[in-house]
Structure 1
């Protein structure tokens, strides 16, 4: 079964994201979804990550099919959610004081894909991703968090720890290795 990888990324997470994306094999049997905390600001993350891989890295678009071997980035100002084999975008209320937020993605992925989901919380301020990561784990998915000592801004990793015990705290390099093994 195709893995669904969902990533919460905020302050201090660009380098870890690059490490994780560059570790993905080509071809990759997973679909990867990234929520960066950029609010409504212009975002060049897809272009930056595309330099690290031969996989397709694009802004998600509403009502597009989920494709294997693609990396989807939530566009500025939109929450990204998953339905059965489709991506949905909306400009609903801010969640955890931000839009896009990771929790809407994590919760919808857990509801739709259950044990196929790998949730990852990287460096950042606040609590975004913590509740969603707990639900991913409850639904049989894998909950990974960036090592607290490595995270430049450990707020989100700490929140994930306090919400529930993730399966592992790993460096970005080890997260990349773990994800690559699932995608190969």
Structure 2
């Protein structure tokens, strides 16, 4: 049999086998196995507009992660994407249902919709209110934890109540990082204080340092998560997203696909 240029295939194979190949070094092999911290989820309530504006203004251009934000706005009109775009170097938008995640973009949950992560896409629903509000923080954090595992950085900012505490627990349980605004620095300390009481926090920082912390953490290489997601988290996610179909999606993500859905850069 002849190859494309008339040379016998056996001879081509012999020549190919004689060409020395540089073996991948240890760093290259390790990098191939690594994921990156490329999903940042942020929750805020009272006092959140000014806090989120400060965070957005501190993030560097072409931020190497997606940023997904829930602010407790209920069904009220929100101009937060326009405000964050004006203040920072990265575009902020209200996403459409099914929109694919893109690094360097800030996604703000639209009014009266829960925002969840499914694989590398965003899902918007008008399911039951959580913590008496829609959008709520916990649905975003829990879904991101199941979809991204160790790639996720969860952040709780100023606000009343304890929305986000359970979601931040889910982030930690799936291998991600937990960051909170120092309650003494927050306009309303209840939400970050609740997270500090109930979650093993990786970073507790004043607002002025949060942008630098996120810039340092985003894009870091992480080992693929080895632990399975807690069964209770899978069940709760299943109930919230549609029974058996939701369980199937969540179980697939948590069973080793946390690094399979790479966020486009």
Any stretches of 5+ residues in structure 1 without a counterpart? none
Superposed, 1:70-81 pairs within 5 Å as 70-81=105-116
Tell me the secondary structure at the aligned position of residue 215 of structure 2: helix
Distance 1:44 1:93, change over 3 A: same
Deviation at 1:183, TM superposition (A): 3.7
Are the equivalent residues in 1 in contact too, given 2:161–2:190 (CA < 8 A)?
A: yes
2:51 to 16, 34, 47: 16
1:134 to 141, 149, 169: 169
Say whether 1:118 aligns with 2:153. yes
Specify the alignment match of 1:178 in structure 2: 213
1:62 to 73, 97, 111: 97
* Counterparts of 1:62 and 1:15, CA distance in 2: 27
Are the equivalent residues in 2 in contact too, given 1:134–1:166 (CA < 8 A)?
A: no
- Which structure has more RCO (C-alpha within 8 Å, separation ≥ 6)? 1
TM-score by length of 2: 0.67
Are the equivalent residues in 2 in contact too, given 1:122–1:146 (CA < 8 A)?
A: yes
**Aligned length, in residue pairs:** 184
* Counterparts of 2:181 and 2:138, CA distance in 1: 17
Which of structure 1's runs of 4+ aligned residues deviate more than 4 A? none
Residues 141-170 of structure 1 deviation map (CA, whole Å, 9 limit, x = unaligned): 110111011111111112112222311211
Alpha-carbon RMSD: 1.2
1:35 to 55, 65, 70: 70
2:132 to 97, 109, 112: 97
Q: Which has the larger radius of gyration?
A: 2
Specify the alignment match of 1:84 in structure 2: 119
Are the equivalent residues in 2 in contact too, given 1:2–1:31 (CA < 8 A)?
A: no
TM-score by length of 1: 0.96
Tell me the secondary structure at the aligned position of residue 65 of structure 1: coil
- Give the structure with the larger strand fraction: 1
Q: Which moved more, 1:154-163 or 1:127-136?
A: 154-163
Any stretches of 5+ residues in structure 2 without a counterpart? 1-35, 220-265
* Counterparts of 1:152 and 1:28, CA distance in 2: 26
Q: Which moved more, 1:47-56 or 1:35-44?
A: 47-56
* Counterparts of 2:91 and 2:37, CA distance in 1: 16
